[in-house]
C-alpha cells in the first residue's frame, strides 16, 4: 500500500510541478507582444472510483489567430487501493485557426455534427432544428479506455462576399478528413450561404468505409444473426435552412453492410416563429438493416416530437413538449414522454435604475413529466415526475419526486387491443416505485455549500436512502470542490474531490 500512496502523491506533485513550471516559463506568452498562454488543470478523485487528471496548454498567436494546443488525460483506479498502476494516459495536440475554425488534430476525437447524429441514433435526443449543427470535431476531454486516437484535418474558408449586389449574399466552404487508428477515413464537406441578414442555407455530405469485426449474438434468440468480418459503406447528407420566422433541417443516411444488407435512416426538424412564440417539430426513423456510424445495428424505429415555447422578459420561459416512439413508421406508438416546464423571470443585479431589488422569496422553476412504457400491451408502466425550485433569502432549494404505477392486463381488450401511448386511467394501477429528493445550497463568496438527501421506494422492498454534503471555493483561478456522499445511507460512504485551475 505504501507504494500506491507514493505513486499517488508522485503523480499529483508532478502534475502541479508541470503547471507551475509552464506558468513560469510562458507568462503572458513569454513576454512577446501578440502572444498569450492559457493553462488548465482539472481532475477528480473518488475513494470508490478513479483518479482523473487532465492538463491543457494553449499558446495563442493573436495576429494570425493561431492556437497551438497540447493535452494529456490520465485515469487510473483511486489510490491507495491496489491496481493504481493499471491506468491509461492519452496525449493529444492540435493547431487551430480561430477565424475560420480550421484545425489539424491528433488524439482521441469527439465527433460533432452530421457524423455524430447518425451514430447511436436511438440514444440521442430528438433532432430538432437547433440540434443540426455543422460537422466539426475537437479533442476529447474525458478519459476513454475504448476509443483509439486518430488524425483529423478540417479546413474552412472565411465568408466570401457579398456575391450579388443588393442581396447581401455571402458564401463559405468547408471540408474535413478523419483518419482513425485503423487507417479508415471519413470524408466530409459542404457549402454554407448567408443572405438577406441572418438567413443561412447549408448543404453537407459525408462518406466513410469501415471494416467491422465479426459479431456473435449474445443470446439464443437474437434478431441479429452471427456475422463475419465485413465491410460497411455509409453515406449521409444534410440540408439546413435557418431564418427569423422559419427554419428546417433534414438528415438522410444510407448504409450497406456485407452479409447484412442495406438500410436507411432519416430525420426532419421544423421551427415556426421565434419570439415570443416558437413551435418546433421533429421526427426520425430507421429501417431494420441500418448500421450506424459506430458499426452497430439499433433496429427499426420511428419517433416524433413537438415542442411549444413562450419566451418572455428576464429569461422567463414556458414550454410544453411531447415525444412518441413506435417500432416502425405506421406502427402503433407504445412509448411517450410529455414535459410541462416554466422558468420564472430572473432578478439581475443591473446598474442604476435597471437594478432590481431581489425579494426575500421567489420561485425559480417548476416542471412535471408524464411518461408511459407500453411495449408490452399487457404490462404498462406509467410514471409521474415533478420538480420545484425556489430561492429563500440566500438559500436555493430544489425538491423533486416521482411515482410509477404498473397496469397488468391479463386479457387484452378486443375492441381496443392496444393501450393509448400516453398515460391514462383506462386500466387500474398497481404501485410500483417512488423516488423523492431535496437539495439546498448556500453561497457566501467565494464559498458555496450544499446538502442533498433522497429516498427510493420499491414495491415489496425496503426504502433506500442516499445523501451528500459538499463544499466548494470558486474564483477567477478556477474552483475546488469536496463532496462526502452516501449512496446507501448509513452503511456506505464515499469521499470525492474535484478541481479546475486556470492560469
What string of pLDDT tens digits covers the 503 residues of the chain?
444 444 444 454 445 444 444 444 444 444 567 889 999 999 999 888 888 999 999 999 988 899 999 999 999 887 666 666 777 889 999 999 999 999 999 999 999 999 999 999 999 999 999 999 999 999 999 888 788 899 999 999 998 877 555 567 889 999 999 998 888 899 999 999 998 878 999 999 999 998 887 776 665 555 566 767 788 999 999 999 999 899 999 999 999 998 888 999 999 999 999 889 999 999 999 999 999 988 888 889 999 999 999 999 988 999 999 999 998 888 888 899 999 999 999 876 545 444 556 788 989 999 999 999 988 878 889 999 999 999 998 899 999 999 999 887 765 554 555 667 777 777 778 888 999 999 999 999 899 999 999 999 998 888 999 999 999 999 999 999 999 999 998 889 999 999 999 98
The answer for residues whose C-beta is within 8 angstroms of residue 59's C-beta and 6 or more apart is 26, 29, 35, 36, 37, 67, 68, 69
Q: State pTM to two decimals.
A: 0.84
Distance set, CA 135 to CA 110, 124, 306, 369 (Å)? 11, 16, 25, 32
The CB-side HSE value for 135 (13 A sphere, CA atoms) comes to 33
d(CA 411, CA 417): 9
The CB-side HSE value for 432 (13 A sphere, CA atoms) comes to 15
- Report pLDDT for 300: 92
The SS3 of residue 193 is: strand
What is the domain partition of the chain in residue ranges?
1-90, 100-311, 313-431, 445-503
- Report pLDDT for 369: 96
What is the per-residue DSSP string for 41-98?
Answer: EEEEEETTSEEEEEEEEEEEETTTTEEEEEEEEEEEEPTTSTTTT--EEEEEEEEEET
What is the per-residue DSSP string for 363-413?
Answer: EEEEEEEEEEE-SSTTEEEEEEEEEEEEEETTEEEEEEEEEEEEEE-SS--
Amino acid at each position: 500500500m505504501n507504494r500506491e500512496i507514493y505513486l499517488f502523491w508522485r503523480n499529483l506533485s508532478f502534475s502541479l510541478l508541470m503547471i507551475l513550471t509552464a506558468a513560469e516559463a510562458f507568462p503572458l506568452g513569454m513576454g512577446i507582444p501578440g502572444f498569450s498562454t492559457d493553462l488548465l488543470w482539472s481532475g477528480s478523485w473518488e475513494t470508490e472510483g478513479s483518479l482523473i487528471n487532465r492538463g491543457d496548454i494553449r499558446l495563442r498567436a493573436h495576429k494570425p489567430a493561431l492556437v497551438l494546443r497540447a493535452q494529456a488525460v490520465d485515469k487510473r483506479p483511486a489510490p491507495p487501493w491496489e491496481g493504481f498502476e493499471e491506468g491509461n494516459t492519452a496525449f493529444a495536440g492540435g493547431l487551430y485557426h480561430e477565424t475560420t475554425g480550421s484545425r489539424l488534430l491528433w488524439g482521441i476525437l469527439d465527433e460533432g455534427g452530421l457524423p455524430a447524429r447518425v451514430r447511436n441514433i436511438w440514444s440521442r435526443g430528438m433532432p430538432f432544428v437547433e440540434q443540426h449543427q455543422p460537422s466539426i470535431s475537437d479533442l476529447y476531454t474525458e478519459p476513454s479506455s475504448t476509443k483509439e486516437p486518430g488524425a483529423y484535418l478540417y479546413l474552412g474558408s472565411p465568408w466570401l462576399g457579398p456575391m450579388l449586389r443588393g442581396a447581401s449574399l455571402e458564401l463559405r466552404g468547408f471540408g474535413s478528413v478523419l483518419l482513425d487508428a485503423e487507417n479508415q477515413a471519413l470524408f466530409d464537406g459542404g457549402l454554407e450561404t448567408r443572405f438577406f441578414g441572418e438567413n443561412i442555407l447549408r448543404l453537407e455530405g459525408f462518406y466513410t468505409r469501415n471494416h467491422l469485426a465479426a459479431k456473435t449474438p449474445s443470446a439464443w434468440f437474437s434478431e441479429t444473426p452471427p456475422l463475419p468480418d465485413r465491410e460497411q459503406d455509409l453515406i449521409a447528407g444534410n440540408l439546413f435552412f435557418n431564418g427569423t420566422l422559419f427554419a428546417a433541417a433534414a438528415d438522410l443516411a444510407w448504409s450497406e453492410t456485407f452479409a447484412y444488407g442495406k438500410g436507411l435512416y432519416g430525420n426532419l426538424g421544423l421551427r415556426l416563429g421565434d419570439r415570443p412564440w416558437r413551435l418546433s417539430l421533429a421526427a426520425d426513423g430507421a429501417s431494420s438493416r441500418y448500421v450506424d456510424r459506430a458499426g452497430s445495428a439499433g433496429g427499426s424505429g420511428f419517433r416524433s416530437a413537438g415542442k411549444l415555447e413562450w419566451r418572455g422578459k428576464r429569461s422567463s420561459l414556458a414550454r410544453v413538449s411531447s415525444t412518441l416512439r413506435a417500432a416502425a413508421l405506421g406502427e402503433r406508438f407504445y412509448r411517450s414522454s410529455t414535459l410541462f416546464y416554466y422558468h420564472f423571470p430572473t432578478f439581475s443585479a443591473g446598474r442604476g435604475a435597471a437594478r432590481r431589488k431581489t425579494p426575500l422569496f421567489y420561485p425559480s422553476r417548476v416542471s412535471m413529466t408524464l411518461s408511459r412504457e407500453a411495449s408490452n400491451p399487457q404490462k404498462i408502466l406509467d410514471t409521474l415526475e415533478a420538480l420545484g425550485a425556489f430561492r429563500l433569502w440566500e438559500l436555493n432549494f430544489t425538491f423533486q419526486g416521482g411515482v410509477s404505477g404498473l397496469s397488468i392486463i391479463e386479457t387484452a381488450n378486443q375492441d381496443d387491443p392496444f393501450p393509448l401511448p400516453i398515460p391514462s386511467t383506462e386500466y387500474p394501477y398497481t404501485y410500483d416505485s417512488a423516488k423523492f429528493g431535496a437539495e439546498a445550497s448556500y453561497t457566501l463568496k467565494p464559498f458555496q455549500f450544499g446538502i442533498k438527501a433522497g429516498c427510493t421506494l420499491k414495491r415489496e422492498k425496503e426504502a433506500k436512502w442516499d445523501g451528500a454534503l459538499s463544499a466548494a471555493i470558486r474564483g477567477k483561478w478556477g474552483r475546488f470542490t469536496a463532496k462526502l456522499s452516501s449512496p446507501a445511507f448509513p452503511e456506505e460512504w464515499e469521499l470525492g474531490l474535484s478541481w479546475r485551475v486556470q492560469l
